[in-house]
Structure formats: structure tokens, C-alpha cells
Homo-oligomer: A and B are copies of this chain.
């Protein structure tokens, strides 16, 4: 519905004379929405604050979206993630590169704050959750899965048994860490996940030990 509305307004059949919608206003409003979302969370986010923060009037928002929910979903979907998985030649190098992007660079700290800000709202809004999935969750999972699959193809590791779980490790632990201990993520934190959990896990062969060692 969001995309449809966008189509109506841009290539609409009922556009005659008059001033056009200013595309720079769209971008400014979406940016402001994501920035405030990361700062104060979805529930405390107000349309008025978004407008003010973008130097716009509320009417400019309601000319484009039906309200907060539609604007935030559209902002999330417009937020293009970097999909390209790195290829440094080794699994450790690829993971380190992903970690470097995730902690140091500009995009990802916003991503994780947005995740925290959206958390409480996701269970009650399927559209929000779908956009959250498409732009924040799945790209990470795909990049990680590609890195592991390349390592398998190189013969560096055996096929990963629970790939779904393994590619969730970094985002899950980063999110948990942000909830339990708010503030900036130490770059070494992601590194210790890689070195302390992921690499030992995927480098170890399949384990088939006895369950009862103390008869």
C-alpha cells in the first residue's frame, strides 16, 4: 500500500498544473523519522517532532503519508542496506570486515539503535515487522550466510550445521548487549563474538560425545 501510494503521487494520472512535490522533502522527512526513531523509539515518536526536526510542516507529511506508521515503514524500506558480502579470501578476514562495517562505520550504529527503538512495537504491527525484516534483519543474515558458504566452497570449514542459528549470533548478541548495557558498542565486542564463539564453532568438526561421563 505504501508503494502504491507513492506511485499514485509521482506518476499519477491526475497531475495537471501546479507546483510539484519536492523530492528533497521526502528524503529529509524519512531521514528525520529514522534519526528520531533511533533516539526515542517508535512509541514516543511523534509526527510533530519529525516535521520540526526536518524543518517542515505537518501538512507536508500528511500530503505524503497517512500517518506515523506509514512514514516509518516507508523510511525503513527506503533505507538501502549494503548487501555486498566482503571477500577477503579467508573466513576470519570476511567476518572481521563485517564487524568493522558494523561497529565503526556510519550506517550500522543507526541500524542497531533503530532495532532497539522498534522492538516493543514490532509484535503488534505486521507491516512494521515486515519492513524491519526486509531492511534490517535479512540483509545481515544474507551477508553472513554468503561468507560461510564461500568458506565451505574454499574447503576452509565443513558445511555449517545450523546455519540459521549461526547467522543470527552476531545480530542477536549485539542487540542483547545494546539492551542490557546501552551505549556505544565496543568494536572489540563483535570481534570477541567472532573469535570466541563463531570461529571455534564452525572450525570444530561435528561433535558426538557421550552424554554421561560420570557413571
Which residues on A are within 8 Å of B, measured CB to CB?
40-44, 89-90, 92-93, 115-124, 129, 132-133, 137, 154-156, 161-162, 165-166, 168-169, 171-173, 175-180, 182, 192-193, 196-197, 199-201, 203-204, 206-207, 209, 211-214
Contacts and interface: CB of A to CB of B under 8 A. Distances in A.
A interface majority secondary structure = helix
A133 B180 contact: yes
A162 B200 CA distance: 11
21 contacts: A41-B43, A43-B43, A89-B214, A90-B211, A90-B213, A93-B211, A123-B178, A129-B182, A154-B214, A156-B214, A162-B196, A165-B196, A165-B197, A166-B197, A168-B176, A169-B169, A175-B176, A176-B176, A197-B197, A200-B201, A201-B201
B120 A196 contact: no
A192 B89 CA distance: 30
